[in-house]
Amino acid sequence: MEMADVLAAELAGLPAGTRIAGEHEIAARFEVGRAAARAAVQELEQRLLVRRVRGSGTFVNKRIDYVISQRRAPSWHQTVREAGAEPRSVVRDVQRAPLPAEEAERLERPVGSAASLLVRQYYVDDLLHGWSNEWIPADVLADVDIAVHAVESVDAILRQMSRVQPVRSWCRVSYALPGPEVVAGLEVESGRPVWLVESVSRDAGSGRPVLCSRSWSRPDSARIVVEMDGPYQPEDE
């Protein structure tokens, strides 16, 4: 703990992304065994001050405030930019699939209705951030595969191609244990909880649901902030 306190004070003056000394260097500096040095680094990780990047090392961490609000457009890319960071998403899978029971209920469609399942991995300032499963009914947008390889933001795609104005109508935030696919996608240790955000967006004009999603994000990447501030109002209204 004493070593962690010393290192934490030093890290406070370093920019995010700075690589920190390895366990061997820390052990030599403080004249302790490697186990003690490893414990100090683990303590810094638990304080969310540093972050291990698989195959690269340990770096000074930066977290963003990811704000969920009905007054904001339900766009992951826009929300990350408003937090002062650079978003990037990578499509891992996109397929036509029948709506499962839970998603069908949220989207107010019959079970088995045609839809697209979009699986994406997210990066904030090129550091791994999140993983999501997004369901879009086929009657809202049929050519999801083509669209997401041209434009990263699903919110922008729906506005441009489906002529809808998505607004967040329902959201649930929890701290949950992810399944094997998400553990691999987030590169986190199995058995460690992460943020889970479940959400439904509706068209502001018609009121019909147009998207439902489950998004998991690393706690060392973001703090989830929920603002209970009323419905979203577009700037032009």
- Looking at the chain, the number of H-run helices and the number of E-run strands are 8, 10
d(CA 38, CA 194): 23
Of all residues in the chain, the percent with pLDDT exceeding 70 is 97
pLDDT tens track for 168-190: 999 999 999 999 999 999 998 88
**Through-space distance between the first and last CA atoms of the chain, rounded to whole angstroms:** 54
Q: Which pLDDT belongs to residue 213?
A: 97
Is pLDDT at 75 greater than 80 in this prediction?
yes
d(CA 101, CA 141): 20
pLDDT tens track for 126-159: 889 999 999 999 999 988 988 898 889 999 999 9
pLDDT band at 90 (very low <50, low <70, confident <90, very high): very high
Q: What is the pTM (predicted TM-score) of this model?
A: 0.84
d(CA 110, CA 104): 6
Q: Which two tokens stand for residue 56?
A: 């690269």
* Nearest to 132, CA basis, from 189, 176, 174, 90: 90
d(CA 204, CA 210): 10
* Nearest to 174, CA basis, from 140, 205, 190, 198: 198
pLDDT band at 165 (very low <50, low <70, confident <90, very high): very high
Angle between helices 2-11 and 23-30 (to 10 degrees): 110
Structural Rg of the chain based on CA atoms:
20
Is pLDDT at 216 greater than 70 in this prediction?
yes
Give the CA distances from residue 29 to residues 7, 36, 81, 99, in Å, rounded to whole numbers and listed in that order.
11, 12, 39, 57
Contact 129, 221 (CB under 8 A): yes
* Nearest to 40, CA basis, from 53, 58, 54, 56: 58
- What is the pLDDT averaged over residues 33-37? 93
Of all residues in the chain, the percent with pLDDT exceeding 90 is 70
- What is the pLDDT averaged over residues 33-48? 92
> Tell me, what amino acid is at 187?
E
The pLDDT mean for the chain works out to 91
Q: Which pLDDT belongs to residue 189?
A: 86
- What is the pLDDT averaged over residues 10-17? 84
193 CB-near residues (< 8 Å, 6+ apart): 175, 176, 177, 178, 219
Q: Which pLDDT belongs to residue 43?
A: 93
Q: Which residues of 71-83 are buried (b: 16+ CB within 10 A; e: fewer)?
A: ebbbbbbebbeeb
> Tell me, what amino acid is at 119?
V
Element (H, E) at 157: helix 154-161
Give the CA distances from residue 149 to residues 2, 41, 94, 163, 185, in Å, rounded to whole numbers and listed in that order.
49, 39, 10, 19, 19
Domains and CATH numbers, the chain: 3-60 (1.10.10.10), 64-226 (3.40.1410.10)
Is pLDDT at 67 greater than 50 in this prediction?
yes
Task: Write the DSSP symbol of residue 152.
Answer: S
